[in-house]
Structure 1
Amino acid sequence: MEQKLDQLSVNTIRNLTLDAVQRAHHGHLGMPLGAAPMGYILWRYYMSVNPEDPTWFDRDRFVLSAGHGSMLLYALLHLSGFPLTIEDIKQFRQLNSITPGHPEYKKTIGVDASTGPLGQGFAMGVGMAIAEAHLADRFNQPHFPIVNHYTYVISGDGDFEEGVCQEAASVAGNLGLNKLIVLWDANQVTSDAELTASNTEDEMLKFEAMGWNTIEVHDGNNCLEIKSAIAQAKRCSDRPTLIKVNTIIGYGSRLAGTSAIHSDPVSDEEAQYMKKQFGFADQEPFYVPDEVAKWFDAVGDRGVQAEETWLNLFEKYRQKFPDLANQLTKIMKGELTEPDFESLKIEGEMATRAASGQVLNTVYPQMPILVGGSGDLGTSNKTTINDKFFMAKHRYWGPNIYFGIREFAMAAIANGITLHGGLRGYTGTFLVFSDYMRSAIRQAAIMGVPTIFVFTHDSLYVGQDGPTHQPVEQLMSLRAMPNINVFRAADDEEVKAAWQLALAANKTPTAIILNRQAVPQLAGSDRLKAQKGAYVISEAANNKPTGIIIATGSEVALAIKTQEILVQKQIFVRVVSMPSWELFALQSAEYQAEVLPDEIECRMSIELGATLGWQQYVGLKGVTMGYDHFGESAPAVDIIKMIDFNPEHAANLYVAAFA
């Protein structure tokens, strides 16, 4: 009887997928049809989730890394009792539906991560497993496994071709994340051709070499074999597990096993043929047999029981370990007290990257939710939390991670740490390498998760490392991205503002942009005003400005020196520090006009990088002092001299334009 219900349930998932794609006239059929058995077995028999409380903290996490197969997840959520109805499935890929083309975090309850760009879901799953291991190591006590859940990922052949997947897999194997189980939909077909056209590697041997436990399911339609493989994976205590499930893409279609069934609907004739294979030819579209609906009640029942058991255990934990329970409760609810930035003192002239390191190490003890590190540049980025362990196999309670030189995976893993809940993932590298990370940063912005991205070495002041390491266009590139706060700090007060904003954010990632060279602490710098994105840092000497100089980061000090030179010429300008375009755009029109009055048309921007975009603030007649070329390999002082980037030149540009 059980095996009969297993098969009927699998075919129900397949039929729902077929109906949804045919109705939408768009979508991916192949993957859900082939992977339906593994998705079904995982959810029906193993997933510990409670549809009545979808955000229960100790639930299992699930990531459909092969996000194009989204109908597999939507069918599972519907059948498992989550608030996703048949009417929602009928609106698959339609405007404003909760069943979009690829799974979207926050749009659909039960979706733990937005996926679609291949490889990133895998990496975010690694981040979630890191978060679970870290919290378990910090809070679990003998006989009290308060944090004790799995992260499951369904990946495909395309995922494994992406470098970010391989980078993340290496991190996971090195850390021995045994609560991470990846099911590989090995259908041997990509969108254009058979997999062997582009990849003939032995992925199982590769993953074994990276420290993974590997299991193979020879028949992806054999539910008992899949069930046994997952049970075996859960018994592994020292490594993450990869389960290779040999599947047939587009199972049930005459196009099965070919790239022709990877995406897009089929003909009406083919759809009818497929329905006959599934046993649904005589049923209306989107039909779910009553016995399948009842069979899936077990998912919700298991989840309710698991949460009740956990709540009872947590109450006993609270009684025996009140301090730990109190701290964990605050972490789970996001109710930790904000660090005291007012009394945080940074003494002396230093680079903003150094100031950032001091801020990070001061705020962590007050807000111990930060978990992250650098792409092998921790000593340079100042992103290491001092006197705390780096994570290692079987030792996860330290907040520092050796990501290695894997910038893309680092960003995606940090997103997974943040998505898990309770923690805030952060990263560090040079600004120029944000290019490696861009897709993951974009995913954070799309999902609205407040991951923190620290970027140092923010201009040509990088010097002798040369043009490959000197960012020019990266700052503007990040500013072009929706829903991210890009904050380029001028001194220690603005660094504090950046971190305060980043830690307070709940639906927006933050990119903190920092310099390498020492900068002065500016007299007019103001942490609270900086959080508005732009403010008057130095008013005109006569309080009647006829012009405005807008600058960011280390160039704010240059702008103030330019202001002093112009005073000698009886030209009185206001200097505005604009650390964040995005935050300034959120201010009221009145505040914006107060900082940048419309009647003052003589405007100049100073920023050591691409000038594209500054016209919106200086106007078409304004002056943009920047650098729109690649740099040179030389001491920074020589580069700056070569391009004449100094207050005297700035003053001359201003006079030439407006005198």
Structure 2
Amino acid sequence: MAFVAAPPSTGRLTAVRSAASAVALRPARSVWAGARLGGGRAATRRPVAAGVVRMDAATTSLPKEQLKTGEPFTDTCVNTIRFLAIDAVEKASSGHPGMPMGMAPTAFALFDKHLRFNPKNPKFINRDRFVLSAGHGSMLIYALLYLYGFDSVSMDDIKQFRQLNSKTPGHPESNDTPGVEVTTGPLGQGICNAVGMAIAEAHAAATYNTDEFTVIDNYTYAIMGDGCVMEGMSSEASSLAGHLKLGKLIAIYDDNSISIDGSTDLAMSENTSDRYRSYGWQVIDVPDGNSDLAAIEAAIEEAKACTDKPSLINIVTTIGYGSPNKANTAASHGSALGEDEVAATREALNWKYAAFEVPDEVLTHTRAKIETGAAQQAAWEEMFSRYKAAEPEKAAAFEAAVVEGALPGDWEAKLQAFAADAEPAATRKASAGILQILAGAFPNIVGGSADL
């Protein structure tokens, strides 16, 4: 396996390995739930926790106890995210509404209570990183960027979802939309990028932090879906994360048991939580991600408190949550709900607002993060000014490597000199020699390989 971790300002991971991942069969978790798929056939579903109701597509009325978080204003905020996704996908006649509908409570809890960011400076160095590994659910992040005051996504941009040259493409792209940390879409890629970011954070913290000054201490969060955990590369990167004990890495697994073809039982029967435990991760199960905000927030706090291993928060959700006829089915995964179903969902969730309408009180609440983020950055900058006075050499190296991404002037010459003197050798030995040269030139490079 070869990994390269970039500075925390960009944090990318490249991973290549050919290996088979061993998985454990998933035992029953006490209650089996049935569902009807988009094609109309009944399917056996993976078990869910006792007391949790997965919406059945054959049900025309939604269980009222599953519609509310217990806090009316929180319900309004969560449903605002849902309906921005629903309305944007509907206008585009294309997209993935189901994932944002199911993950809206978790995303709101994360952005509102835990994620550190400055909406007016998406490149604030010590921000927490958020990676939407399940990139097909891109309207989730676009809704959040708009609500929390990022300049990169306006309401007009949301209305241009999936249109040519828009800032809201069907899968998020970091070069087009500030606030998007990583371009995602190929399932499993984003969680690998998140592992690379967490490696970069750990490396930078070890390099530049001192007993008196904490220059880097950000968390890396990733939301991944069933497709992400099926992909082999996510297994490889997650195994490494456990081995490296990346305590600042928190992966949130959207366990909705639906793929584009129907129930994930068609292709998957493992116990994902047990697999991640075997990697050395802390695993926290949230059996009701539809309405139990307290459990979601407690799980994030528990994950943040664990410093010696990465955390997987397994959140059981309902894809297309709120849709009377398409929730919990593949029909809500990758296509617009349709005019009639959008109207039915508005009625089911008691959403009295027009398409793309955001309640004033929601925007007032979420935009308060602009002031909070600016204050967090100002506090960091004040600390860094003291750091520069006390540790001028470390501060200069940090600014050059991390802030500016500057390259040392002699690195190419060193590689050329190495090549000129090199004897014929196996590629792995040549690669090791090149990495040694680069490691001496770049203080922020991380490399390695599989045990061949």
Q: What TM-score bracket applies, with the shorter chain setting the length?
A: 0.7 to 0.9
Alignment check: 8 A CA contact 2:126 2:216 kept = yes
CA–CA distance in 2 between the matches of 1:224 and 1:113?
A: 29
**Where does residue 451 of structure 1 map in the other structure?**
none
- Post-superposition Cα deviations, 1:49-102, rounded to whole Å, max 9, x if no partner, equal 101111011111110011110000100010011111010000000000000000
CA distance in 2, matches of 1:5, 1:120: 35
Label 1:110 to 1:348 Cα distance change in 2 as closer, same or farther (>3 A). Answer: closer
**Alpha-carbon separation, structure 2, partners of 1:241 and 1:357:** 32
Are the equivalent residues in 2 in contact too, given 1:49–1:60 (CA < 8 A)?
yes
Q: What SS does the aligned partner of 1:34 have? A: helix
The reply to whether residue 95 of structure 1 matches residue 164 of structure 2 is: yes
Pick from 249, 259, 281 the counterpart of residue 180 of structure 1. Answer: 249
In 1, the alpha carbon distance for the partners of 2:173 and 2:346 equals: 29
Q: 1:13 to 1:348 in 2, by over 3 A?
A: closer
CA contact 2:116–2:127 (8 Å) conserved in 1:
yes
* Equivalent runs, 1:596-611 vs 2, <5 Å: none
Larger Rg: 1
Q: Secondary structure at the match of 2:297?
A: helix
Alpha-carbon shift at residue 369 of structure 1 (Å): 2.7
Of structures 1 and 2, the one with the larger relative CO (CA 8 A, separation 6+) is 2
**CA offsets 1:536-581 (integer angstroms, 9 cap, x no match):** xxxxxxxxxxxxxxxxxxxxxxxxxxxxxxxxxxxxxxxxxxxxxx
Superposed, which structure 2 residues align to 1:481-560 within 5 Å? none
Residue 300 (structure 2) aligned to one of 218, 221, 230: 230
How far did 1:356 drift? 5.9
Corresponding residue of 2:440: 365
Deviating more after overlay: 351-360 vs 70-79: 351-360
Distance, in Å, in 2 between the alignment partners of 1:351 and 1:31 is 52
The answer to whether residue 199 in structure 2 is matched with residue 130 in structure 1 is: yes
Residue correspondence of structure 1 range 406-555 to structure 2 within 5 A: none
Residue type at the aligned position of 2:331: A
Q: Please, what is the CA RMSD of the aligned residues? A: 1.9
* CA distance 1:348–1:321, change in 2 (3 Å): closer
Q: Is the 2:213–2:387 contact (alpha carbons within 8 Å) kept by the matching residues of 1?
A: yes
Q: Deviations over 1:399-444 (max 9, x none)?
A: xxxxxxxxxxxxxxxxxxxxxxxxxxxxxxxxxxxxxxxxxxxxxx
Which of the numbers 41, 50, 53 marks the counterpart of 2:121?
Answer: 53
Counterpart of 2:80?
12
Structure 1 CA distance, aligned partners of 2:72 and 2:96?
Answer: 27
2:424 to 328, 351, 365: 351
- In 2: Cα distance, 1:155 partner to 1:88 partner: 25
* Counterpart pick for 2:136 among 48, 51, 68: 68
Letter in 2 for 1:300: I
Residue identity in the other structure for 1:71? M
Following TM superposition, by how much is the alpha carbon of 1:355 offset from its aligned partner in structure 2, in angstroms?
6.1
Equivalent residue for 2:147, pick from 52, 76, 79: 79
Distance 1:291 1:348, change over 3 A: closer
Q: How far is 1:312 from its partner?
A: 1.0
- Could you say which residue in structure 2 is the equivalent of 1:164? 233
Aligned partners of 2:117 and 2:190: how far apart in 1?
Answer: 19
Alignment of 1:240-255 (within 5 A): 240-254=310-324, 255=326
Q: Give the AA of the match of 1:215.
A: I
Aligned residues: 376
CA drift of 1:3 comes to 2.6
Match in the other structure for 1:268: 339
Cα gap change, 1:309 to 1:268, in 2 (>3 Å): same
Aligned equivalent of 1:561: none
Deviations 1:271-317 (A, max 9, x none): 10112233334x32100111000110232222212111111111111
CA distance in structure 1 between the aligned counterparts of 2:146 and 2:302, rounded to whole angstroms = 28
Return the alpha-carbon distance in structure 2 between the equivalents of residues 43 and 89 of structure 1: 19
With over 3 angstroms needed to count, the CA separation of the structure-2 counterparts of 1:205 and 1:304, relative to structure 1, is same
Distance 1:61 1:38 in 2: 16
Contact 2:438 2:445 (C-alpha < 8 Å) held by counterparts: no
Paired with 2:127 and 2:86, the residues of 1 have a C-alpha distance of 30
SS state at 1:371 partner: coil
Q: Which of 274, 290, 293 matches 2:363?
A: 293
> Matches of 2:86 and 2:79 in 1, distance apart?
10
- The residue aligned with 1:389 is none
Letter of the 2:168 partner, please give it. T
Seen in structure 2, the aligned counterparts of structure 1 residues 23 and 325 have a Cα distance that, compared at 3 Å, is same
Q: 1:327 to 1:257 in 2, by over 3 A?
A: same
CA distance in 1, matches of 2:422, 2:166: 53
TM-aligned CA distance change 1:101 to 1:319, over 3 Å: same
- Would you say the 8 A contact 1:253–1:273 is kept in 2? yes
Give the Cα–Cα distance (whole angstroms) in 1 for the partners of residues 134 and 422 of structure 2.
49
Query: Is the partner of 1:92 in helix, strand or coil?
Result: coil
- 8 Å CA contact retained: 2:203, 2:444: no
Letter in 1 for 2:338: S
Post-superposition offset of 1:359: 4.8
- Cα distance between partner residues in 2 of 1:67 and 1:337: 35
Which residue of 2 is the match for residue 32 of structure 1? 100
Query: Quick one: which amino acid aligns to residue 342 of structure 2?
Result: A
The alignment status of 1:150 with 2:219, answered yes or no, reads: yes
Answer yes or no: is the 8 Å Cα contact 1:126–1:172 preserved in 2: yes
More divergent stretch after superposition (252-261 vs 12-21): 252-261
SS in structure 2 opposite 1:111? coil
1:327 aligns with 2:402: no
Change (3 A) 1:260 1:334: same
Give the secondary-structure state (helix, strand or coil) at the position aligned to 1:364: helix
CA distance in 1: counterparts of 2:232 and 2:70, whole angstroms:
41
User: Aligned in 2, Cα 1:265/1:322: closer, same or farther, shift over 3 Å?
Assistant: same
Write the distance in 1 (CA, Å) between the matches of 2:334 and 2:430: 51
Contact 2:435 2:447 in 1 (8 A): no
2:93 aligned with 1:21: no
* Alignment match, 1:307: 377
CA distance in 2, matches of 1:349, 1:302: 55
What is the alpha-carbon distance in structure 1 between the residues aligned to residue 422 and residue 251 of structure 2? 49
Q: With structure 1 as the length reference, what TM-score do the two structures score?
A: 0.55
Alpha-carbon distance between aligned partners in 2 of 1:139 and 1:247, rounded to the nearest angstrom: 40
| Contact 2:249 2:311 survives alignment (8 Å) | yes
SS in 2 for 1:242: strand
Which residue identity is paired with 1:271? V
In the aligned structure 1, how far is the partner of 2:244 from the partner of 2:128?
Answer: 20
Would the alpha carbon gap of residues 362 and 92 (structure 1) be closer, same or farther in structure 2, given more than 3 Å must change?
Answer: same
Measured in 2, the distance between the counterparts of 1:134 and 1:263 equals 38
Specify the code of the residue in structure 2 equivalent to 1:261. Answer: S
Distance in 1, Cα, partners of 2:275 & 2:103: 23
Q: 1:323 to 1:280 in 2, by over 3 A?
A: same
CA distance in 1, matches of 2:404, 2:383: 18
- 5+ long unaligned stretches in structure 2: 1-68
Q: Percent identity?
A: 41
Query: Does the aligned pair in 2 maintain the 1:47–1:299 contact within 8 Å?
Result: no
